[in-house]
């Protein structure tokens, strides 16, 4: 593995106003000394734009606090699907490390709005790869997803498993990213690492995720629908644990090696980042409502049972997600560990503050 320093580097983070992206930038402000961090986000309205603006304002404040230590922060409002924008950023700033988190997310949305996924997840990622080819980088790190495991029956999901059975277009685009990255790693010797994230949650998260959507509905007194009659299990991973994994992996690029044929072996890797502990959806919802009551988001006498409905599975979903994180532990000495209650408490307290 090639050790990479983050200090004094130019780091390009796509999807910088997104949930994971903004948390990563905040962490880099703190940890990457004298780094120049370039962020891009198209600020689309897939969900409430005020949340993205809130995250960006947090970054501005944090950057002001740290400016005396020489940190530099540049934000570009733009779309990775626009080749000229991406080429312009690479031409001007010459990033040495690229973290591609920009993507059209969501399984269900991909069923009704496939165009958005082709634009962002395929064309956008192609533009990033091409730029990394023409302006060589030390490490390209990119977001994949646990969705690539599709209808696989074997659990926990290992990166050694075949992933040829996507059950949504979103999953298919993420698997495509891994294939495209492998080809570019092989052809152009670009060190690349794909990260399969497992159900990320936390403060200022995405409103289309179950915990956030459930909260919005419960606050309004609406009924929440729990799919597969509550018999779903998810490997919920707290956002700080995800960011810790990303930062460690950024600093360890796959090594450039030569094969027996004298040609380069692709400097390519893929890791799961998950909690390695699936939680039953009913248990998850129970802890969520307890923490919402504790934070004062819901009243103490809230009749939770009257506001939940058990319904069948929906298209594109899978019954279980469960990360095998042994490769992450082996190579980076790291395993996510934040408990569901700790993470949901942080979310509930943030929600109470943000929407008060």
Separation of CA 268 from chain center: 19
Strands (E), the chain: 2-3, 10-14, 36-41, 72-77, 97-100, 139-145, 192-197, 200-201, 224-226, 233-234, 237-238, 252-253, 257-258, 264-265, 268-273, 279-280, 308-310
Beta-carbon contacts of 61 under 8 Å, excluding residues fewer than 6 positions away, are none
What is the rounded (10 degree) CA torsion for 28, 157, 144, 140? Answer: 60
Contact 234, 283 (CB under 8 A): no
149 a catalytic residue: no
Catalytically annotated residue among 170, 271, 322, 334: 170
Task: Return the structure tokens found at 214.
Answer: 């459930």
Rounded to whole angstroms, the Cα distance separating 267 from 258 reads 10
The DSSP-derived string for 185-226 is HHHH---EEEEEE--EE-TT--TTSHHHHHHHHHHHTPPEEE
Rounded to whole angstroms, the Cα distance separating 23 from 21 reads 5
Beta-carbon contacts of 254 under 8 Å, excluding residues fewer than 6 positions away, are 1, 2, 185, 191, 192, 193, 266, 267, 268, 269
Rounded to whole angstroms, the Cα distance separating 181 from 148 reads 15
Task: Return the structure tokens found at 179.
Answer: 């294939």
Which among 235, 227, 230 is positioned nearest to 315, based on CA atoms?
227
Which among 132, 131, 168, 141 is positioned nearest to 15, based on CA atoms?
141
Could you give the residue numbers annotated as active site? Answer: 170
């Amino acid at each position: 593995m090639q050790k990479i320093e983050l200090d004094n580097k130019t780091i390009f983070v796509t999807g910088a106003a997104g949930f994971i992206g903004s948390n990563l930038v905040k962490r880099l402000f703190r940890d990457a000394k004298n780094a120049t961090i370039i962020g891009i986000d198209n600020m689309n309205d897939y969900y409430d734009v005020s949340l993205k603006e809130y995250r960006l304002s947090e970054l501005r404040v944090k950057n002001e606090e740290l400016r005396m230590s020489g940190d530099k922060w540049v934000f570009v409002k733009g779309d990775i699907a626009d080749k000229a924008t991406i080429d312009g950023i690479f031409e001007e700033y010459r990033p040495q490390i690229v973290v591609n988190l920009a993507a059209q997310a969501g399984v269900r949305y991909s069923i009704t709005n496939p165009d958005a996924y082709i634009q962002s997840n395929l064309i956008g990622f192609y533009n990033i790869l091409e730029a990394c080819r023409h302006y060589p980088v030390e490490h390209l790190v990119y977001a994949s997803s646990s969705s690539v495991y599709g209808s696989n029956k074997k659990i926990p999901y290992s990166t050694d498993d075949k992933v040829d059975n996507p059950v949504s277009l979103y999953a298919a685009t993420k698997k495509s990213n891994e294939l495209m990255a492998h080809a570019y790693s092989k052809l152009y010797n670009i060190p690349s690492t794909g990260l399969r994230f497992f159900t990320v949650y936390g403060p200022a998260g995405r409103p289309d995720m179950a915990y956030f959507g459930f909260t919005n509905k419960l606050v309004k007194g609406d009924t929440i629908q729990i799919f597969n009659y509550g018999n779903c299990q998810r490997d919920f991973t707290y956002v700080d644990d995800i960011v810790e994994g990303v930062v460690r992996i950024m600093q360890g690029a796959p090594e450039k090696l030569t094969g027996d044929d004298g040609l380069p072996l692709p400097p390519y890797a893929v890791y799961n980042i998950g909690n390695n502990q699936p939680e039953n959806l009913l248990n998850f919802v129970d802890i969520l409502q307890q923490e919402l009551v504790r934070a004062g988001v819901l009243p103490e006498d809230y009749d939770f049972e009257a506001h939940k409905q058990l319904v069948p599975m929906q298209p594109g979903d899978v019954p279980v997600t469960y990360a095998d994180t042994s490769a992450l532990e082996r190579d980076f000495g790291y395993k996510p560990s934040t408990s569901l209650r700790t993470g949901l408490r942080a979310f509930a307290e943030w929600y109470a503050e943000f929407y008060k």
